[in-house]
Amino acid sequence: MLTIENYTKHYNGVLALQIPQLALPKGIFWIKGQNGSGKTTLFKSIAGLLPYEGSIQLEQGFSGKTQPQAYRMLINFGEAEPVFPDFLTAKDLVNFIAITKKASPAQKEKLINTLGITDFYHKPCGTYSSGMLKKLSLALAFLGNPALIILDEPLITLDDQTVQKVYTLINEYYASGVGFLLSSHQNFGFSSLAIQATYVVSQQTIHLQHEL
């Protein structure tokens, strides 16, 4: 699904994360780590939001550096604490990202209904609660035909009902061949998700903790 080689990330000359080699087959992976360990840095690098040294490549052969457009078509990202410009509505964002990610109207409709965005679809993000922002961010992360979806803390600020819907969505997408990288401080229900392995980000690198 994903291969990382000679990856290093510095902030102002200070090493934040270093991964000499990591190959992840298709599956659902749980990335753990304490606050500030570098999980989000890793996720943002894979999603193409942060520059880094080294290479990150998808099994389809696309690299974030050499084929930025094709690579980004296959990777979606949901932020831990999403922020969007206050004046944009959920509709603006969903339509914009659906066009760029080539999502079908049916998929768009399904995600809006499943995650309960309908009620605030036409309202600007500046009026949203943190839970509403999270739902919108998750809907955007599931749009299109990705090969990998990265969800940083997907369950925080969500109500129990929506958490179950997120589990269902992950399982549906996984069944259709989509891989996942998830991070969470909460325990994922192992019975709900087929987590393939757990990795821990600590001491500026990533270690395999548990494989099922």
Partner 1 sequence: MLYRSKPSICSMSYRSIYKVLIRTVCVEYYRLNAGFFFVIIAFAFGLLRPIEHIAIATYLVHSHFLMALVFGLWTVYTLKTIQFTLRTFAQEENLFLHNIYLLPTAVKFSGMLLVQFILYEPIVLYSAFMGYYAIHFGQLSSLLLLGIFNLVTISGAAAYYVYRLPYMTAEKKQNRLSTYLDQHFTKPYFTFFLYQVLQKQRSLYFLTKLFSLFLLTGTVKLYTYENFSPVLLALGGLMAFSTNAILCFHFNRFEQLDVLIFKNLPLSLYKRFFNNTVTYLGLLVPEILLLMRHLAGDIDVWLGLQLVFFGLSLQLIFHGYVLFRQLDLEKFIRHVFFLVIFYFVSLLFRIPILLLFAVNGVTAFFIYQKYFYQAEVIILKDSPEE
Closer to partner 1 at the Cβ: 148 or 200? 148
Q: How far is the C-alpha of 158 from the C-alpha of 169, rounded, in Å?
A: 14
Between residues 123 and 185, which has the closer beta carbon with respect to partner 1? 123
Q: Which of 8, 18, 91, 167 binds partner 1 (CB under 8 A)?
A: 91
77 lies in the site for partner 1, by CB under 8 A: yes
Q: How far apart are CA 197 and CA 19, in angstroms?
A: 17
For partner 1, the binding residues in 27-56 under the rule CB under 8 A are 47-51
Closest CA to 138 of 159, 124, 194: 159
Strand blocks (E) in 85-166: 148-152
Q: Quick check: 87 binds partner 1 (CB under 8 A)?
A: yes
Whole-angstrom Cα distance, residue 147 to residue 74?
Answer: 5
In the complex with partner 1, the residue whose CB is nearer, 14 or 212, is: 14
Of 64-72, 160-168, 178-186, 202-210, which part binds partner 1 (CB under 8 A)? 64-72
What contacts 75, CB < 8 A, 6 or more positions away? 46, 47, 48, 58, 146, 147, 148, 149, 150
Binding residues (CB under 8 A) for partner 1: these are 11-12, 47-51, 64-65, 68-73, 75-77, 79, 82-89, 91-92, 95-97, 100-101, 122-124, 126-127, 140
